[in-house]
Structure 1
């Protein structure tokens, strides 16, 4: 997979979507659940990571006989995330599933992968990776629902998907077309009055409930008799007796309170 002029040899239809700065580290090892006798570990202090539409590739700046390159298919990477420590560069962590015959012992079903971007680029790499993985996973799911045969060759991946035909560009933003007139939204219909039944039986006529009349409306809807009302010209019954009693009470009160009456008695 290594090219003579440097870099990697691309597969048919493979495109490079991201390339990191050269000071990117890689740590590949088994989880802590395995005993030390079955552990697997690879370390590299400086290298370049490539992200393509098919896989993730890491090439060390100074290859060694024990470690010359590393590659993993995109869909074999799970639980990826970016961590930002208080001190040091940002890191990208994930769990990978090695492929058969890839140089990793077969007893290791999962490996912990950590890449440290010392010259930046961790968030850009993570953003492109997540978007790419989502597109590839969606294409594989659609192929499986339509009866994919699962053939894997130079251009087909999991589920018989032609990875070269997967659309990787962002969908265009929605813009309102001015060629057609937009139909206005319909106005909400007024609530319907719930009818109430009157009478002893349910088979009687249906009568709508009366609407409450506001004070302004009731004052405006007065009858002609109320508008032509005139006060009576004669006093009400017992009016003269009440007036006479009131005058007598007032005279008695004045006589009680008159000081000259006491002087005349003396």
Structure 2
């Protein structure tokens, strides 16, 4: 997930908001689960926080090894019940439960973790407003996708890029099955009112593009107003 420039972007992912001042991150077991779940904690006192069109990402300024903490990222819709608070001692705090993604480094016994970002130099209010607007629009887009094709698959991880620029196939690439060829005769037998092949996929992609353009435009307008 990491490269020399920071992190590997997902397909069609763009950075909407970035803060690289004094921001700390703490991952822990939610209080209500501590009595019956395995202990877990990761903490960084300083790092960079990103809000992209798909995820929240945190990169510690100094990755740790014991326990290992090099990065944290999760899809926007995996965050639940976010709250904000402030204190004269440590600044603004943004906190939310997060449902772990399979294979993401969180113990599988944990149904969710508590994510806490502390903003010592400000920026939390702008981040939270951008996050709330993005989450609402992604939820609406998810509902439209579900109406179109009946399912919303999880976002695949980016392909691993080995030295020399050669990309190793991901598991989804290895299991991909080519679509059957459509002959001219079968196309001619299609009913006049039947949508063309891949119509639903094209509609979903168009909705995704419109959503991302709309989000980027609102973020730009918010920056100009400041």
TM-score with structure 2 length normalisation? Answer: 0.67
The answer to whether residue 162 in structure 2 is matched with residue 118 in structure 1 is no
Q: Which moved more, 1:79-88 or 1:44-53?
A: 79-88
The equivalent of 1:85 in structure 2 is: 87
- Please state if 1:20 is matched with 2:19: yes
CA contact (8 A) 1:22 1:61 kept: no
Aligned residues: 167
Runs of 4+ in structure 1 over 4 Å off: 160-164
- Paired with 2:41 and 2:143, the residues of 1 have a C-alpha distance of 33
TM-aligned CA deviation for residue 32 of structure 1: 2.1
Deviations 1:54-76 (A, max 9, x none): 10110000112201011010000
Other structure's SS at 1:98 match: coil
Distance (whole Å) between structure 2 residues aligned to residue 129 and residue 119 of structure 1? 19
Structure 1 residue 31: Cα displacement: 1.6
Compare 27-36 and 109-118 and name the one that shifted more: 27-36
State how 1:1-266 maps to structure 2 within 5 Å: 1-4=1-4, 6-33=5-32, 34-35=34-35, 38-65=38-65, 66-154=68-156, 162=205, 164-168=208-212, 169=214
- Say whether the 8 Å CA contact 2:37–2:110 is kept in structure 1: no
Q: TM-score scaled by structure 1?
A: 0.58
Post-superposition shift, 1:88? 2.4
* In 2, Cα distance between equivalents of 1:52 and 1:142: 21
Larger mean CA deviation between 6-15 and 106-115 belongs to: 6-15
Query: What CA deviation, in whole Å up to 9, does each residue of 1:40-64 have, x standing for no partner?
Result: 1111100011110010110000112
SS of the residue corresponding to residue 10 of structure 1 reads: coil
Quote how far apart the aligned CAs of 1:152 are. Answer: 3.7
Partner of 1:259: none
- Which deviates the most, 31-40 or 113-122? 31-40
Tell me the distance in 1 between the aligned counterparts of 2:21 and 2:107: 28
2: CA distance between counterparts of 1:49 and 1:137? 22
User: In 2 relative to 1, CA 82–139 (structure 1 residues): closer, same or farther, beyond 3 Å?
Assistant: same
Change (3 A) 1:141 1:91: same
Over 3 Å counting, the alpha-carbon distance change for 1:48 and 1:107 in structure 2 is same
**Larger-Rg structure:** 1
d(CA) in 1 for partners of 2:155 and 2:109? 25
Greater fraction of residues in strand: 2
Give the Cα separation in 1 of the matches to 2:154 and 2:111. Answer: 20
The 3-state SS of whatever aligns with 1:42 is strand
Higher RCO (CA 8 Å, separation ≥ 6 residues): 2
RMSD value over aligned CA atoms?
A: 2.4
